[in-house]
Amino acid sequence: MADRLLYWKGCMSRLKVKGIADSTMELLDLMGIRYDTLGGDEGCCGSILLRTGYPEEAKKLVRLNISQIGDAGYTKMVTSCPGCYRTFASEYPKMIAADLPFNVQHISQLLSENLGALRNKLKPLKMDVVYHDPCHLGRHMGIYEEPRRLIKAIPGIRLAEFRQNRSLALCCGSGGGVRSALPDVSTAVAKSIIDGPLGPLGVRAIITACPFCYYNFNTAGGVEVIDLPQLLLRSCKGERSNG
Amino acid sequence: MDEWLNKKDLEFREWMLDERRRLGIDRAVKAYVSAKETALQKMPELEEMRKEVRLIKEESIRKMPELAKAAMDAIIDLKGMAYLAKDAESAQEIFKEVVGRGKLVVKSKSLTSEEICLNEALEEAGNTVYETDLGEFIIQLRKEKPSHIINPSVHVPREEVAKTFSQLLKREVRPDINGLVSVAREFLREKFCTADVGITGANVVAAKTGTIFIIENEGNARFVSNAPPIHIAITGMEKVVPTLSDAFKVVQVLPPYATGVLMAAYVSLITGPSKTADIEKTIVYGAHGPKELHLVLLDNGRTEMAKSPDFREALYCLRCGGCMYECPVYRILGGSFGNNYFGGIGIIWSYFTRGPEGVAAAINACTKCRRCKAVCPLEIDVPKMVETLKSRLVRDGYSHPRHREIMESIAKNKNPFGLER
């Protein structure tokens, strides 16, 4: 039986930064990857509940989500949000003390696996960028190379690195419920990266692979922020960067 | 808004708006990060040693009560005095008893003494207390609280130090760092020699021999522990390790992670009070060093931590303070991110040693990014403990109103933003 793929948008891409979900779907379509979404029936992964002190409330969602996705016959699931990815892939199995009935990937993993189908569609993009490792994707799940591999696949792009990257990457400041409880602190942390280690790199844009990082860096301002699928789509469309 | 939240919010705001403090921290972070990088490159052997130290700490915390008792017995055998203080108040009582009234006290840096509000207690009893670590001296004069466990005055830039010293000496002191250090040196020298009591912390204690290790760079702890006739050392009971060789491993790991040096300038090993038998082989205590040595081991929540599978790991902390410099939020919030102990690990420590009120709001500033775990020489899983503590605090009524709204919105609307389904 063929794999059935679910694209789990996650609350941020579904409701706050819809451009990330739209670009992701457009990119998947362009690559000929078939997927479904849950539309209005998509729920909450529970990550934010786990971070803000409501593990019991999160547990209620876990069973619900697993049966909703599993019963619908999906064998694979891909997320835009590293928070959803970590929660599904690493925390759900611990919470139910069993493997999930479906495989979970972050979008950067799925795209990287399908780089063959993507590569010939990528058109040159003359841009100097830096990749920001999202905490949930990098330090928490060990996914450091897939996003870099995808960025480097774009002809003409130059990928710079923060002095402290991968396992030592700085947090953008929006994780763990800080953005909701202390928005000024979140923004100040993002701003300290933009005003600090970003400056000497002389890049035009920060590439993220996380809607929370995307949102938070944008709030801090002063630099173009592009989510990974957005960047790849831009390259596919041969759009010149707006600058 | 709840009082405990309101108070912390104001404190956060005050730190965020204070450009001078931010400047001080920024300078310190830059200097620390590059010094540590160099030190770790030069000492690849630390990779193995920090793993050994982790095992030593795991064993030590498993045997914490026995090791504390062994260390105390060893010191008493050496004609020193040793105490186990169950909480801050009983520790204060021990100090007041030993120090007495109207005494001149010199201190070297000890966050454990801050934990029990020792200076306030001694001053209330009519004693004069001088902090002699330069950073502590500065903030004592400024009537502030420490903002970092290794560099307590990290938030005070040189210009501010100059103002403080100008007030102390009632003459103009220039904001030249060398000159500022000389001011402290000259002012404190006389205090060391005339003090009645010297109080130090201890970075590690070897149980079998009863040896107290004090690690420092300034040389003030040597004066404090050696010049006055009475030396009292205070440290948490989690600092006791089985043997001297265990302690030496801790001593090797601590300095590079704490300040980016290969080795601290001074490590004092103190095993009992000063003594001589040079006249007729008769032992007399108090030759050139202190006649009396007292060790106060502090419990104050540590036994409870050791018993808890969720929080025991916090007791492995060597207090190098590296995670604070490496914490993206500490860089913004400095000394307001915690309560006596700072950063993520500080939240855990503050909770157990000072209760929930002081950390219930500060905990909301942790992004759980795990950078602290990545840079910790013992790889202590601080974010996991913070997450567990957060749910305990919420259970006990300390939930943040925004987080509560989000929880309710998710239950009702399946999204955190309060948007209708």
Domain shared by B121 and B56, yes or no: yes
CA distance B419 to chain A (A): 9
Q: B-chain residues within 8 Å CB-CB of A181? A: 364-365, 400, 402-403
Beta strands in B265-314 (DSSP E): 266-270, 275-276, 284-285, 292-298
- C-beta atoms of A53 and B391 within 8 A: yes
Nearest CA in chain B to A55: B391
Domain count, chain B: 2
Residue B334 DSSP one-character state = G
Domain end among B303, B335, B356: B303
pLDDT, position A240: 61
Q: B-chain residues within 8 Å CB-CB of A45? A: none
pLDDT, position B22: 86
B131 alpha-carbon distance from chain centroid: 14
CATH number at residue B291: 3.40.50.10420
- C-beta atoms of A176 and B410 within 8 A: no
pLDDT, position B112: 96
Is pLDDT above 70 for A241? no
Burial, B207: exposed, middle or buried (Cβ in 10 Å; 0-12, 13-18, 19+)? buried
Class of domain A121-237: alpha beta
Query: Does the CA dihedral B139-B319-B231-B72 come out positive or negative?
Result: positive
- C-beta atoms of A54 and B403 within 8 A: yes
A197 touches chain B (CB under 8 A): no
Domain shared by B176 and B72, yes or no: yes
Q: Is residue B31 part of a domain?
A: yes
CA distance B60 to chain A (A): 29
Q: B-chain residues within 8 Å CB-CB of A192? A: 328, 331-332
Q: Is residue B397 part of a domain?
A: yes
B63 touches chain A (CB under 8 A): no
B328: nearest Cα among B365, B291, B381, B278? B365
Domain shared by B275 and B212, yes or no: yes
Nearest CA in chain B to A196: B26
Nearest CA in chain B to A178: B365
Band of pLDDT at residue A1, cut at 50, 70 and 90: low
Give 10-residue mean pLDDT values along chain B (421 residues).
89 92 88 96 98 98 98 98 98 98 97 96 98 95 83 87 96 96 96 98 98 97 98 98 98 97 98 97 96 98 98 98 96 92 96 95 98 98 98 97 97 93 74
Burial, A83: exposed, middle or buried (Cβ in 10 Å; 0-12, 13-18, 19+)? buried
Strand order in the sheet with A103-106: A5-8, A76-79, A103-106
3-state helix, strand, coil in chain B (%, to 5): 55, 15, 35
B332 touches chain A (CB under 8 A): yes
B367 alpha-carbon distance from chain centroid: 23
Bridge partners of B205? B212, B240
Is pLDDT above 70 for A173? yes
C-beta separation of B176 from B183 below 8 A: no
B292: nearest Cα among B103, B102, B85, B55? B103
Share of chain A above pLDDT 90, in %: 97
| Backbone φ/ψ region at A73: left (φ over 0), alpha (ψ -120 to 50), beta | left
Domain shared by B33 and B177, yes or no: no
B399 touches chain A (CB under 8 A): yes
Token output for B382: 């601080």
C-beta separation of B88 from B261 below 8 A: no
Q: Is residue B178 part of a domain?
A: yes
Element (H, E) at B303: helix B302-307
Q: Is residue B316 part of a domain?
A: no
A58 alpha-carbon distance from chain centroid: 21
B205 alpha-carbon distance from chain centroid: 15
- C-beta atoms of A167 and B374 within 8 A: yes
Is pLDDT above 60 for A243? no
Domain shared by B28 and B49, yes or no: no
CA distance A92 to A58: 10
Mean pLDDT (chain A, rounded): 96
B302 contacts: CB under 8 Å, gap ≥ 6: B64, B236, B237, B238, B315, B352, B353
Q: Is residue B360 part of a domain?
A: yes
Domain shared by B371 and B298, yes or no: no
Interface mutation vs chain A, best among B368, B379, B404, B409, most A CBs within 10 Å: B368
pLDDT, position A242: 47
Domain shared by B339 and B296, yes or no: no
B30 touches chain A (CB under 8 A): no
B376: nearest Cα among A86, A197, A177, A139? A139
What residue ranges do the domains of chain A occupy? 5-112, 121-237
Give per-residue burial for B130-159: e unless 16+ CB within 10 Å, then b.
bbbbbbbbbbbbeeeebbbbbbbbbbbbbe
Domain shared by B288 and B179, yes or no: yes
A121 contacts: CB under 8 Å, gap ≥ 6: A30, A31, A236
Number of Cα atoms under 13 Å in the Cβ half of residue A114: 20
Domain shared by B116 and B239, yes or no: yes
DSSP-derived 3-state class of residue A226: strand
Q: Is residue B362 part of a domain?
A: yes
- C-beta atoms of A192 and B331 within 8 A: yes
B197: nearest Cα among B75, B116, B310, B107? B107
Domain shared by B406 and B267, yes or no: no
Q: Is residue B89 part of a domain?
A: yes
Domain shared by B232 and B296, yes or no: yes
Q: Is residue B283 part of a domain?
A: yes
CA distance B130 to A196: 38
- C-beta atoms of A44 and B332 within 8 A: no
CA distance B180 to B158: 8
Class of domain A5-112: alpha beta
Domain shared by B327 and B385, yes or no: yes
What domain range includes position B247?
45-303
A42 touches chain B (CB under 8 A): yes
Q: B-chain residues within 8 Å CB-CB of A188? A: 16, 332
- Report the C-alpha dihedral over residues A125, A126, A129, A133, rounded to 10 degrees: 20
A119 contacts: CB under 8 Å, gap ≥ 6: A153
Domain end among B303, B330, B362: B303
Q: Residue B102 CB: number of other CB atoms within 10 A?
A: 10
